[in-house]
Amino acid sequence: MAPHWPTCFLIIVYGGADAFGPMLTSYEPASRGAIIGAAWNDLRQNAAAHALEVAQSESLGYASVGELPLHTPAVEPFDVPKEATAMGPACPFAFAADAEDGSRLPLIFETTEPLFSAEECQLVIDEANAHIAAGTAASGFTFADTCRNVDVSGLPGTLAFLNQQGLARVAALSGACFGETAIGDPQRLRLYRALVVHYDEAQGLTHQQVHRDHSLVTCVVTLNDRSEYTGGGTWMEDLGQALAPPRGHALLQASALRHAGHVIETGQRWVMVLFLIGEEMRYGEHKRHFAARAQKHMAAGENAAALHCITLARAMCDDTDKEIQYYALNYAHGNADAPATMSEQAVNP
């Protein structure tokens, strides 16, 4: 399927720090302000792209949050290095996070009680399973060769549950964990996309590669019981471990953290993944939009435009993102095909 870029969901993947070799040295941090200051038209393009994402959320059937529940589940926070988001000086989580040690921030949260009931989880599994059994087209998102994923916009029962109850719970939890300075008013969060992901060891569908999500906050809800599989969980690179909450519990993270679907060893695992953005874009999100635009230009063979967006992404994050450096390194050496080996485009149906 050819990419439809206005609705593209970008996930960036790379094989680790050793994959890069020597880093570029052409970017000078002192020039960061000048680069961004001259890019006002590019910033406007990003704002327009974000507004389109919000509009597309509604067109896919995702409702606004509505009234927030009074109770949110208790959580266990996990601290990671503040540089882990690779969003640079404009990282909204760095401004908001309440951390005793300024070098580490609580950017991952695991609920210690269910967010969704067992009955609600089973409703989602049953509908997604029927969708898969019917041979309905997959979502078009990445990693389809290592797991199954179903777009929730094509699951009427699950969509209704999210619109009526589920999204408000996730939004309230996000607000309680991250605060308005980081993510804005939780009632103004929008469901950018939602997936039901199925791992099946017998079919060789066991994992996802390490990546960053193209959203602000990611919520993963475990749908089936841990007795039905071994291994699995969400691998958080900066923790060096996989987190596998019980059924109905949620794992909440800043989307820009590098993570993966950890390999299941036996059985089947079902999760729901919710990608959240705010109605108003946070300034630090310009970096993800520059990265998405760079990838679009790469796919079209528009090298000069790709390098322009790469430069802006590097300036926005103060050159803290090794994936962006990898893009720049390959383009600087005329290897325009190389970025395809460390990134995948995911296309909405």
**Mean pLDDT of the region 202-209:** 92
**Mean pLDDT of the region 116-141:** 87
pLDDT top residue among 239 and 25 = 239
Distance CA 291, CA 307 (A): 10
**Does pLDDT of 342 surpass 60?**
no
Count of CB atoms within 10 A of residue 246's CB? Answer: 13
pLDDT tens per residue, range 130-145: 999 998 756 556 566 8
Tell me what pLDDT residue 214 has: 92
Q: Which of 262, 164, 268 is nearest to 223 (CA)?
A: 268
Tell me what pLDDT residue 31 has: 79
Where does the pLDDT of residue 346 fall: very low under 50, low under 70, confident under 90, or very high at 90 and above? Answer: very low
Count of CB atoms within 10 A of residue 133's CB? Answer: 8
Q: What is the mean pLDDT of the chain?
A: 85
| Superfamily grouping for domain 75-278 | q2cbj1_9rhob like domain (2.60.120.620)
pLDDT top residue among 346 and 123 = 123
**Mean pLDDT of the region 69-90:** 93
- The DSSP secondary structure of 229-243, one letter per residue, reads EEE-SEEETTTTEEE
Where does the pLDDT of residue 285 fall: very low under 50, low under 70, confident under 90, or very high at 90 and above? Answer: very high
Portions of the chain given CATH number 2.60.120.620: 75-278
**Mean pLDDT of the region 234-259:** 96
> What distance lies between CA 295 and its chain's CA centroid?
16
Report the b/e string of 16-26 with b at 16+ CB within 10 A: eeeebeeebee
pLDDT top residue among 324 and 153 = 153
- The DSSP secondary structure of 133-192, one letter per residue, reads HTTPPP---S-TTTSEEEEGGG-HHHHHHIIIIIHHHHHHHHHHHH-HHHH--GGGEEEE
pLDDT tens per residue, range 141-188: 656 688 999 999 999 999 999 999 999 999 999 999 999 999 999 999
